[in-house]
Chain A
Amino acid sequence: DAGVTQSPTHLIKTRGQHVTLRCSPISGHKSVSWYQQVLGQGPQFIFQYYEKEERGRGNFPDRFSARQFPNYSSELNVNALLLGDSALYLCASRSDLNTEAFFGQGTRLTVV
């Protein structure tokens, strides 16, 4: 069975641009969460989706949005990129809302 897959693995964007990050959860998992991890810090919660509905949003500006598709894959969109958006973006898959999270390898976003 494939684990959590994220694409792309690395990305370089310029300020003001838009980015879309993608995540495919483990087969059968209905919950996808997105986290931002800045170097030296713990993952910061951005969004949580369960059964295609948003079930939580972290303290991030409206430039950040996400959605979950019928096949449970997910996209994270960030508009009007800032230098401070440079980070590792992690997708986590859970079979249910109270179970352990399985993380993908992450997308390393660099904004220049």
Chain B
Amino acid sequence: GQQVMQIPQYQHVQEGEDFTTYCNSSTTLSNIQWYKQRPGGHPVFLIQLVKSGEVKKQKRLTFQFGEAKKNSSLHITATQTTDVGTYFCAGLRSNDYKLSFGAGTTVTVRA
């Protein structure tokens, strides 16, 4: 079955620094989606990438979809305390439209 792997599991960042979280799928994806879950909350949709090699930006967040549509990354610049939470990638398969989540990267920020 499809597996979506995410690294690192934890990311401890000094405020103002940059970091990247990576996502890899064992199968080719129709699209990949990114979600953020704050402590005690539910996953909230951030963005969807559909095209091979696609890059999208949301303010300090940059999302990339790999050329083979099997991997993705999220890069955050100048980390702020508001970035605290767990970031999940979720891969969508085209044959059954099952959205499979990675284990997430939990981000903590040192002020």
Please determine whether A59 and B1 come into contact, CB atoms closer than 8 angstroms: yes
B52 within 8 A of A: no
Interface residues of A in 61-105 (CB under 8 A from B): 90, 92, 97-105
Q: Given the known A-B contacts A98-B31, A105-B42, are A42 and B96 also in contact in the complex, defined by CB atoms under 8 Å?
A: no
Interface residues of A, count at CB 8 A = 25
Q: How far, in whole Å, are A55 and B30 apart by their CA atoms in the complex? A: 17
Residues of chain B within 8 A (CB-CB) of A100 are 33, 45, 48
Question: Which listed residue, B31, B33, B97, touches A48 by the CB 8 Å rule?
Answer: B97
Please determine whether A48 and B98 come into contact, CB atoms closer than 8 angstroms: yes
Among B94, B96, B97, B98, find the residue whose CB has the most chain A CB atoms closer than 10 A.
Answer: B97
Interface residues of B, count at CB 8 A = 25
26 contacts between A and B (CB under 8 A): A33-B99, A35-B101, A42-B6, A42-B88, A42-B101, A42-B104, A43-B43, A43-B88, A43-B101, A45-B98, A45-B100, A48-B97, A48-B98, A50-B97, A56-B97, A58-B98, A92-B99, A97-B97, A100-B33, A101-B90, A103-B42, A103-B43, A103-B44, A104-B42, A105-B41, A105-B42
Q: Chain B: residues with CB nearer than 8 A to chain A? A: 1, 6, 30-31, 33, 35, 41-45, 48, 88, 90, 92, 94, 96-104
